[in-house]
Each structure stands twice: as structure tokens, then as C-alpha cells.
Amino acid sequence: MSAITSADGFHHLVYSISGTTHTLFLDGSAVSVNTNGTNVFSTFPNISNLLIGTAGDLSFGYTGFIDDFKVFNRALTTTDVSAIYYKDLSLPFIPRIIDTLSTAAYNAMVYKGTTLQAGAFGLKLLLYSARTSPVIQIKAGTSGTPTDFYAPIDGSNNLTTGVNGTGTGIVAFLNGATGYVTKWYDQTGNGHHATAAGTTLPFLNTTNYVVDFGSTGYFSLADNSFPTGNLPYTYLFKQGGTGVEGGANPRGGFAYSGGTSGVGNMAFLMNRRDNWLYETWYGVDGYIANGVTANVVIAATYGGGGNNNSATGKLFYKDNIQQGLSYENNINRSQTSSNCYLGNSHLNNGIDYVTYNSTMPYFYWMPYQLGSSDRAILGAT
């Protein structure tokens, strides 16, 4: 037995029996193990009554509330219990970011039976309650084994190899080595996972728990990940600093989608020298945000369908404040589905063209033009 120290709220209890081993789990963790218990199913091969909330002889009962009672036909492992606990309790205690979006934005982002051009990356908190998958894959040093890590439900930085703080913590796993990111998992259910590429892989900055792209690291995504054609879109991310690139006009690329140079290319570019951020379709149109410093939230939205008015055309935001438009606003697009990157504008004859050299804690995109309240929700991740 194990005491529940506070009885003023719900707790998650699991009792698992495997032969003569009886294990009691409290709030996702094993708190009591008896290896010399009764072999219940051998002693009682036939069970005629299953009673919930009372003793078998009805001599005394339970006082309180019971919710979500389950019976399994096998003994649950520690991993099983942790996964069930994580899924059962994460939403009531901490609503997930994507869950709190408007209905239209939510439906544009999550998996609904067909592949949507949407994605969501984060680190500190699971972004969508229907997902219990890992948030990132990391290896310790250049020769380490890529290992999945989960975000805890309390929103802390303690990434672990098991759900809800179980398994090995990230600091112990790295043991002083650099944590290179090999995959950043899409949490929408669309499967648009970002696979690390480039000369040097991005790495996890464990001081403030952000992905650091370094000087040449970036991610590659499958074709058709980003919105294509003339669809509405939103890209929203928090950039950790100005870009760094060699030459007289140093830049850093954020995201890119589409074909070859001049044919449906979309890129976010950062200029370190003048501190501006530029969304471009290679000379067709663009936005510039001046005075872009570290740790600002950038959002670029477009209403789709050739709409060129100021309310639903192409809009650009810094910390949810609309920025001015530069260059012509030709919004008839022909964005293609191939060559999708995060942290690199595109490859030029197989060579990295413009790579992003800063940090990023999260990145979202979807085929929908987000309004102010939804931008505020995602920007506060």
C-alpha cells in the first residue's frame, strides 16, 4: 500500500497483477510492489461479479468520485501506465496549445483523416492532447544513438526518454556531450516530421531549451509539407536572434518551400546587419520587419485565393503587431510542393544557399490565415 498525501483532487491509480507480482501505480509511477502476492487468477479461475466502489461482501464502500475506470486483460508495464496516465490526465490539468485555438484554426491544423499541410514543433509542452508521441529525437555527441524524448505534462524543461518524466532525463543522457537533434516531431498528426540535415546538425541548447541551428544546420521535410498553390497560410515562430551569414549582406534563412529558384519559392530571410526580417517570393513580393531583435514572435499570414485587400491579403506581424508592406503585393502564387526546408532557404546546385544561424523554441504552419487571438495563443507557447 502507499498513502495518497493529498485527497483534495483526482489521482490516477493502477493495480497490475502478473502472477504473484502485484504492483500499485500512483499518478503514473510504481509506488508499491509485492512479489509474493496471491496468484489471483489461479486461486479464483472464475469471477462472477465485478464491483466498483465497494468491497466484495458489500461490507464497506468508497467515498469520493471515480472517473474513467478501465480493465485490461493483461498486466500493464510501467511504460503502459505512464502512457495511459499521460493521455488521461494531460488535458484536464494543462490544456494543450492547439486544443485552445479557434475551431477553424484547430480544424486547419490537426489530422482529420486526410493529410493537411500543417505542422507544429515544440519542446517544453506537448502541443496537442491527442498526441502522446515524442517531441524530439536527440543523440549525445556525433556518434551517439538517436533517442526519442518526451515533454512532461507540467510544462517544465525536463525532457525524458519516457512519458511524463519517466526514463532518463536529457541532462543525464547527454552527460556533458552536445545533444544533436536528428528529428523534430510534428505534433499535429500530419506526420510532417523535420529530419536534420546540413554539414553540422542542429543541437539542443539546454540553457533555455531551444533548438540551435548553428551555422549550417537545418531540417528537411517531406514534399507537400507546407501549403502549396495559392492556398491561405500562416507561418509563426519565435526567433532567438539575428541571422548570421558571410558576405556583405549577411542573412539567415528560416523556412522554404518549392522547386527551383524563381519558381514558386517562399523563404523567410534575416539580415543581421540591418536587423530586418524579409518574407520573399524571390522578387515577386515581400514584407520587411525592421528592428527585429532577439526573441520576437514572427507571423506571416495570407488569405489565399488571390485576395489582395488589406484585411485578408498578405500580412506580416512582429509580436502580433502588424508591420508595413514593402515591394509589390502580388498575391497570385504558384508555390510548388517539393524541397521543403526549415532553417535553409534552398539548395543551389546541391549547396546550402542561405542557412539560419540562431535558435528557435517552436515553429507552426497551416493552410489558414490566423487571426489575432489565435496568433497570441501560438505565440505564447
Q: Where does residue 60 rank: exposed (0-12), middle (13-18), buried (19+ CB within 10 A)?
A: exposed
Under a CB-based contact definition with an 8 Å cutoff, are residues 225 and 117 in contact? yes
CA atoms of 22 and 38, how far apart (whole Å): 8
Under a CB-based contact definition with an 8 Å cutoff, are residues 358 and 256 in contact? no
CA atoms of 222 and 172, how far apart (whole Å): 32
Residue ranges, the chain, pLDDT below 70: 1-10, 79, 82-83, 86-95, 130, 132, 241-294, 325-336, 346-354
Show the 3-state SS of the chain.
CCCCCCCCCCCCEEEEEECCEEEEEECCEEEEEECCCCCHHHHCCCCCCCCCCECCCCCCECCCCCCCCCCCCCCCCHHHHHHHHHHHHHHHHCCCCHHHCCHHHHHHHCCCCCCCCCEEECCCCCCCCCCCCCCEEEEECCCCCCEEEECCCCCCCCCECCHHHCCCEHHHHHCCCCEEEEEECCCCCCCCCEEEECCCCCEEECCCCEEECCCCCEEEECCCCCCCECCCEEEEEEECCCCCCCCCCCEEEEEEECCCCCCCCEEEEEECCCCEEEEECCCCEEEEECCCCCCEEEEEEECCCCCCCCCCCCEEEECCEECCEEEEECCCCCECCCCEEECECCEECCEECCECCCEECCEEEECCCCCHHHHHHHHCC
Cβ count within 10 A of residue 3: 7
Cβ neighbours for 284, distance < 8 A, ≥ 6 positions apart: 328, 330
pLDDT value for 347: 57
Q: Is the pTM of this model over 0.75?
A: no
pLDDT value for 6: 52
CA atoms of 314 and 323, how far apart (whole Å): 11
Query: Residues 182-205: pLDDT tens digits?
Result: 999 999 988 899 999 877 899 999
Beta bridge partners of 319: none
CA atoms of 234 and 351, how far apart (whole Å): 28
CB environment 151-187: b (16+ within 10 A), e (fewer): bbbeeeebbbbbbbbbbebbeebbeeebbbbbbbbbb
pLDDT value for 63: 78
pLDDT value for 91: 42
Query: Residues 35-88: pLDDT tens digits?
Result: 888 887 777 777 777 788 887 778 888 877 787 788 888 888 776 776 677 665
58 conformational bin, left if phi > 0, alpha if psi -120 to 50, beta if neither: left
Q: How far is CA 173 from CA 75, 121, 124, 125, in A?
A: 29, 22, 17, 19
Beta bridge partners of 236: 299, 364
∠ at Cα 225 (364, 267), nearest 5°? 70
Cβ count within 10 A of residue 281: 20
Q: What is the CATH number of domain 98-379?
A: 2.60.120.200
pLDDT value for 337: 76
